[in-house]
Copies of this chain bind each other. A is one copy, B any other.
Amino acid sequence: MNIGEASSATGVSAKMIRYYESIGLIRAPLRTESNYRVYSSDEVHTLRFVKRARTLGFSVEETATLLGLWQDKERASAEVKSIATGHIGALETKIVELQSMVKTLKHLANCCGGDERPNCPILDDLAGETIKTKGH
Contacts and interface: CB of A to CB of B under 8 A. Distances in A.
| Chain A interface residue bracket vs B | 35 or more
Given A88-B109, A91-B105, A122 B81 contact: yes
B127 A70 contact: yes
Contacts of A120: 69, 75, 77, 80-81
A94 B96 CA distance: 12
Interface string A113-131: 1111111101101111000
A66 B109 contact: no
Interface in A34-87: 45, 48-49, 52-53, 55-57, 66, 69-70, 73-78, 80-82, 84-85, 87
A89 to B, nearest CB: 10
A26 to B, nearest CB: 14
B76 A118 contact: yes
A112 interface: yes
A115 to B, nearest CB: 6
Contacts of A122: 77, 80-81, 84
A124 to B, nearest CB: 9
Interface of A: 45, 48-49, 52-53, 55-57, 66, 69-70, 73-78, 80-82, 84-85, 87-88, 91-92, 94-95, 98-99, 101-102, 104-106, 108-109, 112-120, 122-123, 125-128
